[in-house]
Structure 1
Amino acid sequence: MPRVLILTGDAAESLEVMYPFQRLQEEGYDVDIAAPSKKVLRTVVHDFEPGFDTYTEKPGYRIEANIAFKDVHPEDYVAVVIPGGRAPEYIRNDPDFARIVQYFFHTEKPVAQICHAPIALAAAHVMTGRTSAAYPALKADVEAAGATFVDGAAVIDGHMVSARAWPDHPQWMRAFMKMLKENAPVIP
């Protein structure tokens, strides 16, 4: 079975990890979750509540990272997914995160990224000249990284599909699954 890699860490947005993890498995892909260390991660739930100028945060699901970034051989994977939440703030500082991400961009394998993921991709120096969605508050960060910000649900730029946040999952995953099946179909 083709393998897909999810790059994340503690405080990732629960839905942005769990939805692609389960959706990819449903389609027959093997999925590994990588983090700075192999451990049980604590995700968070970001929600939009009346009266708040931004999202709120609550404890989310626990999910196992079954491989550490340092042990990832990106050539073993057909695609990568980078969820948002707060995890991108610190996983971007791991040199192995940059090594892994750069492989997918240089080989033009499918990349799905959402929400706050562009700040981690910017640190890996792969955003220059790209077009990307992101959580709208990150518009300035996307532009500072040399990319064009688009406020959209499934922004496709070559081999990369991006979205604003978990409310965009249907459009984001539909576009990513189409790209993935064209590039690395599951053969029964």
Structure 2
Amino acid sequence: MSKKILIITGDGGETLEVLYPYERLREAGYTPVVAAQSTDRKIQLVVHDFADDFDTYTEKLAHMWPADVAIDDVDPAEYAGLIIPGGRAPEYLRLNENVLNIVRAFFDADKPVAATCHGPLILARAGVLDGRECAAFGMCEPDVTDAGATYVDAADVTSGNLVTARAWNDNGPWMGAFLKLLG
């Protein structure tokens, strides 16, 4: 079995939801592979946080990170699992038909999939949430339930081959559950 794990993200991806899984996978002996729309330039990751005088989260520029492979060049058969971090990247990546096809291929093969924060927006658009339980950032609850899932407000929610979480502060339990699915 492959030890490669695909991480799909892009500009506006949440730093802690990309880099924590990346390093945790390396620690566990896996090879994380970051896929983005292009490998021509580095991805601009961001940090989301909360301020007392702000109605929603704030966003600040964070690390730049190179993509290992372009989304158009991904062959899902080469990977043991898939991670979809949050941030704003899922908002536009869910419009990429190749991303949706990659997601469907992982579900068709019953391979482990992890998504957090806004990542379930991609799962909803791919049509793979119907009948499942799913965590996500609270503002994504309508998208998750409209896709046929039951929204669960928890740090790690496992539903078949899928493990989801609310946001970066759930990284530990979320990645622990994902690594358990990987075996």
Which of residues 50, 53, 58 in structure 1 aligns to 2:52? 50
The residue number in structure 2 matching 1:37 is 38
Q: Look up the SS of the partner of 1:25 in the other structure.
A: helix
Q: Tell me, in whole angstroms, the C-alpha distance in 2 between the residues paired with 1:53 and 1:164.
A: 18
Partners of 1:74 and 1:122 lie apart in 2 by 19
Unaligned residue ranges in structure 2 (runs of 5+): none
Please, what TM-score do these two structures have when normalized by structure 1?
Answer: 0.94
Percentage of matched positions with identical amino acids? 49
Where does structure 1 differ by over 2 angstroms across 4 or more consecutive aligned residues? none
The reply to whether residue 109 of structure 1 matches residue 111 of structure 2 is yes
Tell me the distance in 2 between the aligned counterparts of 1:28 and 1:86.
29
Letter in 2 for 1:164: R
Are positions 1:59 and 2:54 aligned together? no
One-letter code aligned to 1:65: A
Who is 1:24 aligned against?
A: 25
Amino acid at match of 2:24: R
Per-residue displacement from partner, 1:62-107 (whole Å, max 9, x unpaired)? 1111101110000000000000000001111111101110011111
Letter in 2 for 1:20: P
How far apart, in 2, do the equivalents of 1:175 and 1:66 lie?
A: 25
1:185 paired residue number:
none
TM-align CA RMSD: 1.0
* Match runs of 1:170-185 below 5 Å: 170-180=172-182, 182=183
Number of matched pairs: 181
Instruction: Please name the residue that 1:150 is paired with.
Output: 152
What amino acid maps onto 2:30 in structure 1? Y
Match of 1:186 in 2: none
C-alpha deviation, 1:51, in angstroms: 2.4
Q: Deviations over 1:101-158 (max 9, x none)?
A: 0011111100010000111111111111111000011111111111110000000001
CA distance in 1, matches of 2:181, 2:107: 15
Whole-angstrom distance in 2 between the partners of 1:107 and 1:25: 23
Moved more, 60-69 or 44-53: 44-53
